[in-house]
Amino acid sequence: MSRKKIRRLVYLGCLVIGCTIVGGIYAVTRPADEVLLTIGEPYEQVRQQSRSTLPAAEPGANWGGVINRPARLRFTDPQYGFSTPVAKFMAVSYDEHGKVDSVRMSPQVTILPLDETMAIVLDLQEQLRRGGWRQILVEDSPPLEDTPTVRAKIRGCAAPTGYWQAGDKYQLGLNVRCFRTDSHPDLERYLITLDVASPWLEANR
């Protein structure tokens, strides 16, 4: 093989390695995707103002879009706003007029141990309190506080859920479910589900 060809192969090899390194650095340092919305906004407007993989709306359909790359949610209501950790699952539903009517998501990229799960839940609830949300339906669905009772319910796979309301504009449900596998029955892992929409529950009870 000629020296010229060897130099060319070395150059190409260095170029590939360099591109791989740069790509890896970009993947690590690239800001996480972010979905910015409030309930009632046009879905296509949400897509335009967000950095996400939400698909285009289907005209005249009552449907929704699901991300295929992890993203955080930033709920942009000026009074009742909050933000979540990066989520692997997020579905944004819209009505037949193309307006966002609900969001369902799990604010995590993998199922988590209980301590990490509770840290996310408590942070979200603290944001809601600071923003003026109030807990509702507390007799039937007590708050998800970090107490032995709540932890026992979660570990027992009771899937406790807390409900919150923001004035007369929104309601939010926060739920924790357990995961068990036959291969690792003693491995505790948990999944948070957050739902936000216009009020759908009777709060005065």
CB atoms within 10 A of CB 6: 10
- pTM (global) more than 0.85: no
What is the reported pLDDT for 16? 33
Domain that holds residue 120: 33-197
62 with 163, same domain? Answer: yes
100 with 79, same domain? Answer: yes
Provide the total of helices (H) and of strands (E) in the chain, helices listed first: 4, 10
**Residue 91 and residue 64 in contact, taking contact as beta carbons nearer than 8 Å:** yes
57 with 78, same domain? Answer: yes
DSSP 8-state class, residue 205? -
Distance CA 126, CA 128 (A): 5
40 with 16, same domain? Answer: no
- 10-residue block means of pLDDT along the chain (205 residues)? 44 36 42 95 97 90 91 98 98 95 98 97 98 96 94 95 98 94 81 98 76
